[in-house]
């Protein structure tokens, strides 16, 4: 609920502070007194485009402050939570226009963008007849208004779940299909690569082992020469083995005479003889193996070449070839199994889509049933508003399967309020079907019907009674009074019948002060209300009859 409005230096308004209460508040005054300026000011605070022509002449800064009291569960708090603005007991909105061309805004003293201000404003206040394209005139709001009338939030939640499941499964299918297609494009290369790695059958560490063996064969001549020298040193007549053998024979001949003192020397010579024999045998074995396969070096070179070629081909180290082999073989296997997996993903997508369609269809049926009742209720409101020949209808059109890319988490329905003001006129979007007072009365009728299901807002009607009087004006006033019981309602009016229905009455007037014109707004007492309504009835010269009629109007509770 809007509870306070402060305006400074806006056109004719030097400084103005207004307190608002619940129920129906009427604002009256002569033409040019500043009623539209007051709405322009409020619109500025609600995020309208800054009009620097509103800046009062001779000033450099104008400001509008609006304070709202709103329930903790009002949807505007969620929007502000997402923007990082802390909650408080009330919501304070400020907007300035400055001579330097800037128009800063804040919510609860936190700087905000005009876009956020506008979104909050749309959730807090609805102005009919002043801001084209907002509120009921914005067709993008019509689906949400109808859904609130349907009261099927649980089903909408299921539809959102179905939409998300359907789109996720479709993305999974498309991703798997793309991978499979890519794999098929490289299938020939993949099969050839796996076949080559199968034949190679490289082992981790094999490159290092072959390199060591190759180093051995590369130094074969040097090794053979060394083996020959070593063999000669051991086996020649004057070699180590012959010398040790002679020493051992000499000690053995006198061992018994040594009374055991030569045993250790004898054992050492025996061990040395055995080690020399073993070393000689090992040298002979190595020499024999080096001579056994003269093609081994070529085999090693060929194997190393194959291993390293494959490593370069796959951009890995030689030791990583076994893992690459396993990975490519797995991809090949997945390629063979891919069609079956793709079919499973497609079936899952179809299952979610079918579920979405079932829920969407049930929502469509509910919307059309409620739309029919809504149309009937609005049509019943039109005759008393001098729109007896007019028609109203809610278009609920479903988007076909061929355009399922346009389906949304809210379903496949396009919802739009349409009207025809005159007989023989085709139904058209409500904002194009009528103009002036007719459009305002259409919106009033629709708002009266929807009021019970809408999120709480302050409703403002700008001259909804334009062009009507008598019983029709009284009917407008009665409906505004009903709206005031459901939501805080403000109306700018020239009709005494409407003004008499208000719970609170402000009079807007202008006066001359220091050679400048100033607009002011005052809350009227009951006596002052009677005088103002009498003025509205009689004009500049108020007659006793006008006063009596005003008292009579104020005493009426209903039409």
Q: Roughly what angle, to the nearest 10 degrees, separates helices 187-200 and 153-185?
A: 60
Q: Label residue 559 by pLDDT band (50, 70, 90).
A: very low
Total structural domains within the chain: 2
pLDDT above 80: residue 232: no
What lies within 8 Å, CB to CB, of 72 at 6+ separation is 87
Residue 145 vs residue 225, higher pLDDT:
145
CA 179 to chain CA centroid, nearest Å: 27
- Quick one: 512 exposed, middle or buried, by C-beta within 10 A (0-12, 13-18, 19+)? exposed
Residue 234 vs residue 443, higher pLDDT:
443
pLDDT at 454: 72
Q: Label residue 182 by pLDDT band (50, 70, 90).
A: confident
Arithmetic mean of pLDDT, 482-503: 90
CATH number of the domain to which 419 belongs: 3.40.50.300
pLDDT at 130: 45
The pLDDT tens digits of the residues spanning 91-113 come to 999 999 998 999 999 999 999 99
pLDDT above 80: residue 323: yes
What lies within 8 Å, CB to CB, of 512 at 6+ separation is 518
221 and 289: one domain?
A: yes
117 and 26: one domain?
A: yes
Select from 378, 499, 488 the least CA-distant residue to 443: 378
Task: Give the C-alpha separation, 399 to 396, whole Å.
Answer: 10
The pLDDT tens digits of the residues spanning 419-454 come to 998 888 899 998 888 777 788 888 889 988 988 777
**Does 284 reside within a domain?**
yes
Give the strand pairing for 61-68 and 91-98.
antiparallel
pLDDT at 558: 39
Q: Roughly what angle, to the nearest 10 degrees, separates helices 436-450 and 321-381?
A: 110
pLDDT above 60: residue 401: yes
**Does 545 reside within a domain?**
no
pLDDT at 131: 47
Task: Give the C-alpha separation, 313 to 43, whole Å.
Answer: 70
Other C-beta atoms lying within 10 Å of the C-beta of residue 257: 8
Give CA torsion, residues 265, 271, 276, 280, to 10 deg.
160
pLDDT at 73: 84
The structure tokens listed for 271 are 């061990």
Residue 156 vs residue 515, higher pLDDT:
156
| Residue-number span of the structural domain to which 321 is assigned | 187-333
Percent of the chain with pLDDT over 90: 41
123 and 40: one domain?
A: yes
pLDDT at 337: 65
Query: In the listed set 307, 333, 359, which residue is the last one of a domain according to the structure?
Result: 333
Task: Give the C-alpha separation, 202 to 321, whole Å.
Answer: 7
Q: Roughly what angle, to the nearest 10 degrees, separates helices 544-555 and 526-538?
A: 120
Task: Give the C-alpha separation, 277 to 273, whole Å.
Answer: 6
**Does 146 reside within a domain?**
yes
């Amino acid at each position: 609920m809007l509870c306070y409005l402060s305006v400074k230096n806006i056109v004719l308004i030097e400084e103005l502070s207004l307190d608002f209460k619940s129920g129906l508040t009427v604002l009256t005054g002569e033409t040019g007194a500043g009623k539209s300026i007051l709405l322009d000011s409020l619109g500025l605070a609600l995020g309208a485009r800054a009009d620097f022509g509103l800046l009062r002449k001779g000033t450099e800064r104008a400001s509008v402050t609006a304070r709202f009291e709103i329930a903790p569960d009002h949807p505007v708090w969620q929007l502000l939570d997402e923007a990082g603005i802390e909650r408080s007991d009330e919501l304070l909105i400020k907007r300035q226009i400055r001579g330097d061309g800037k128009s800063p805004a804040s919510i609860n003293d936190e700087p905000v963008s005009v876009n956020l201000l506008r979104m909050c404003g749309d959730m807090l206040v609805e102005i009919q007849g002043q801001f084209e394209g907002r509120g009921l005139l914005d067709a993008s709001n019509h689906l949400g208004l109808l859904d609130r009338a349907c009261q099927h939030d649980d089903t909408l939640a299921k539809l959102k779940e179905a939409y998300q499941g359907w789109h996720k499964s479709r993305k999974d299918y498309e991703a798997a299909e793309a991978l499979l297609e890519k794999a098929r494009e490289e299938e020939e290369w993949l099969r050839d690569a796996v076949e080559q790695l199968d034949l190679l059958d490289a082992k981790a560490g094999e490159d290092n082992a072959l390199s060591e063996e190759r180093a051995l064969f590369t130094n074969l001549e040097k090794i053979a020469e060394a083996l020959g020298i070593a063999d000669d040193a051991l086996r020649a007549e004057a070699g180590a083995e012959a010398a040790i053998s002679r020493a051992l024979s000499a000690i053995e001949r006198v061992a018994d005479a040594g009374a055991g003192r030569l045993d250790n020397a004898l054992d050492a010579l025996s061990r040395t003889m055995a080690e020399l024999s073993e070393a000689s045998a090992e040298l002979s074995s190595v020499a024999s193996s080096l001579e056994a396969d003269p093609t081994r070096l070529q085999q090693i070179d060929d194997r190393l070449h194959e291993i390293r070629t494959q490593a370069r081909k796959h951009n890995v180290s030689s030791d990583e070839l076994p893992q690459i082999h396993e990975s490519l073989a797995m991809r090949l296997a997945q390629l063979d199994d891919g069609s079956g997996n793709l079919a499973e993903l497609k079936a899952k997508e179809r299952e979610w889509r079918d579920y979405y369609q079932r829920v969407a269809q049930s929502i469509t049926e509910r919307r059309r049933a409620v739309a029919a009742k809504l149309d009937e209720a609005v049509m019943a409101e039109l005759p008393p508003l001098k729109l007896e020949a007019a028609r109203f209808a809610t278009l609920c059109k479903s988007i076909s399967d061929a355009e399922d890319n346009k389906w949304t988490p809210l379903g496949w329905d396009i919802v739009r309020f349409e009207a025809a003001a005159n007989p023989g006129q085709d139904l058209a979007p409500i904002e194009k079907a009528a103009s002036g007072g007719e459009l305002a009365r259409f919106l009033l009728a629709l708002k009266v019907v929807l009021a019970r299901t809408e999120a709480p807002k302050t409703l403002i009607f700008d001259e909804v009674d334009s062009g009507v009087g008598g019983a029709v004006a009284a009917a407008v006033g009665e409906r505004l009074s009903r709206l005031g019981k459901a939501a805080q309602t403000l109306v700018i009016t020239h009709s005494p019948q409407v003004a008499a229905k208000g719970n609170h009455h402000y009079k807007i007037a202008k006066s001359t002060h220091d050679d400048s014109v100033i607009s002011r707004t005052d809350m009227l007492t009951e006596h002052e209300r009677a005088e103002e309504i009498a003025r509205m009835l009689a004009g500049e010269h108020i007659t006793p009859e006008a006063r009596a009629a005003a008292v009579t109007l104020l005493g009426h509770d209903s039409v």
